A = this chain, B = another copy of it.
Amino acid sequence: MIIDCHGHYTTAPKGLQVWRDEQLAALKTPGRLAEKGSVHISDDEIRESVEKAQLKLQRERGTDVTVFSPRASAMGHHLGDATTSRHWTEHCNDLIHRVCELYPENFVGVCQLPQTPSDPLAGCIAELERCVNGLGFIGCNLNPDPSGGYWGAPPLTDQYWYPFYEKMVELDVPAMVHVSASCNPNFHTTGAHYINADTTAFMQLLTADLFKDIPGLRLIIPHGGGAVPYHWGRYRGLAQDLKRPPLDELIHGHVFFDTCVYHMAGIELLLKIIPVDNILFGSEMVGAVRGIDPQTGQYFDDTKRYVDASALSAADKQKIFEGNARRVYPRINDRLKPQTA
């Protein structure tokens, strides 16, 4: 079985954006109360939106199930207030739930959180509980920068976040550290802000004792860990200079990188440098890069091809494709058939 740990609902039917546009327009109307209202999307629209995209690509590429969450760039935590974020988040998560109910063998849910810049954890515990206990979700996407590129929240290692981490551990779910769109003109969303956030989060983890304080915490750093594997020597050297634990020890059981790296040389570096137990198969499809690589004739984000073509043993590939995901997201085991290998 091949589990893709990183998929967003980037193809959601237009009813979702209609609702969001109206919500944001209402914010500009003085005196108008925020109302949750309803998102109008039919099951057929949902079917059409994934049949032509994620499901088609799953079939073509030979992957089985996608750990599926709302479109990351649209989380927009910097827009409006805590109520804005809560209403939008609940609708987005409910829509993911509908996809997972329609296609229980193909999608397992991961939730967006109702974060805001003024209170980066506002309502997050309640929404996590609702999604995990109520909707059968298996993880969440945690935004370390709800300001959208101005980085005003405390570092992820600050005790500010601990109550949320404790709830994650209690529910036995991991978080993918994932920012949303950048509203800072310096940062292109998918070309800079996403990658920078990954690098930033890793360095925060390197310099603090978060996993000593919360031993059950598991975090996924997406996009192949940002710059981290490429600069592994720098990070090993910094850890040593700063008298921090060796990196393999830091990440063991706690930090996982996905395979969203869109060329063979990058994947080879990732697989060579990062312990195999810390790598999860992911493709970010349909996501940041949608074209075909003229050098290969294949989709840039068809990352399964790169892992397939690597020199890893079959056992190691099985870990990356399935085994590790079952460890990192243990609740996935209730949703899927038992492990085959």
Contacts and interface: CB of A to CB of B under 8 A. Distances in A.
A293 B233 contact: yes
A211 interface: no
A153 B186 CA distance: 8
A265 B226 contact: no
Nearest to A284: B234
A240 interface: yes
Interface string A259-282: 001111110010011000000000
A184 B158 CA distance: 13
B204 A233 contact: no
Contact of A191 (B145, B150, B153, B206): B206
A115 to B, nearest CB: 15
A290 B241 contact: yes
Interface in A234-251: 234-238, 240-241
B300 A185 contact: no
Interface of A: 144-145, 149-151, 153-155, 184-188, 190-192, 195-196, 199-200, 203-204, 206-207, 223-224, 226-227, 229-238, 240-241, 261-266, 269, 272-273, 288-291, 293-294, 300-301
